[in-house]
Homo-oligomer: A and B are copies of this chain.
Amino acid sequence: MQRRSGPLLTEGTALTHLDEEQILARILPLYDRPAWLVVPPGDDAAVLHTSDRTIATTDSMVLGRDWLDEWSSGADVGHKVIAQNLADIAAMGGRPTGVLLTLVIDPAVSIEWVTDLAKGVAGACSRADVAVLGGDLSSAPPGVVMVSVTALGVLVGEPVLRSGARPGNHVAVAGSLGLSDAGLRLLQEGRPEADPEAVAVHRRPRPPLDQGLAAVAAGATAMLDVSDGLLRDAGRIARASGVILDLDPTALDDDIDRLTPVVGVQAARECVLAGGEEHALLATFVPGSVPGGWRVIGVARGIAPDEGPEVLVGGLSETLTGWDHFRP
């Protein structure tokens, strides 16, 4: 994924022809200013109204690693980097309130790409009723574009950690599984038209933010968002909680069947079990309390003396693992 080409570096007016204030003058008017933004961007820092407990998280995207210019527009990247951060706020049981955006960018990139990125950020924030609190703009070596976001949120109840799953809990998911990975595969194979919805989810994930709030209200015992693959992320709940999560393969049949005509049954299974960047929510609930909008896909059970915390599928170990940033 280290190719670099496409319109990002070749069309429009390069940033180097503008100064920092001229660039910000194109970007800042794109953002909403909701009522809880006490001091908007433009001073040393922004000030926002918060509750007595603030949630904070950060996640970034790098050109060539997290997106290719040929496949994703600036607006796609802006949407995606916001979506994946807001998913982390939702996965704590919180309501997102604001984001800060850092752009470290080759000055040869066009201002048009940057304003397109800002439009994607503004749209994703606006839909979630989230304020852009500020940002930072720095020049980078040739060919490098990096977008980093910090998201803030407020709790609506107690934080939902990864460590609260208990034996007997139901494992449930809100949102789709495997579409983003399938979309990526189609882009890599040069046939995005085979499943426009999967490609759209890869470009602009749709974390079910409201279902995070529904999960808190229903007393979810553990929750996270599926960013690195169902098995890998479920494993994080299993280890943090000291339980085994046993997934019911028949509960995932619809997800696999949805993708089989597009990528084949083996790849469909890989996408559903190990596909990253989906940003569905995965949570555990006391039986009988799983809210509408969530579907049960397994059960948590205790660990026998000869076992460790892990994720099983139909009682068996799986070898698919998902994505790691540093393994070659």
Contacts and interface: CB of A to CB of B under 8 A. Distances in A.
Interface stretch (A57-65, A121-129, A196-204, A258-266): A57-65
B54 A50 contact: yes
Contact of A58 (B48, B100, B224, B325): B100
B134 A20 contact: no
A15 interface: yes
Nearest to A38: B53
Given A43-B161, A89-B45, A159-B39, A57 B144 contact: no
Contacts of A309: none
Contact of A56 (B2, B52, B98, B137): B98
Given A62-B139, A139-B65, A18 B326 contact: yes
Interface in A131-179: 133-141, 143-144, 146, 148, 150-153, 155, 159, 161-163
A251 interface: no
Interface residues of A, number: 74
B152 A38 contact: no
A51 interface: yes
Nearest to A65: B139
19 contacts: A16-B326, A20-B325, A38-B53, A39-B92, A39-B159, A43-B159, A47-B55, A47-B56, A47-B92, A54-B152, A56-B134, A56-B150, A58-B102, A64-B141, A137-B325, A137-B326, A139-B325, A140-B144, A141-B143
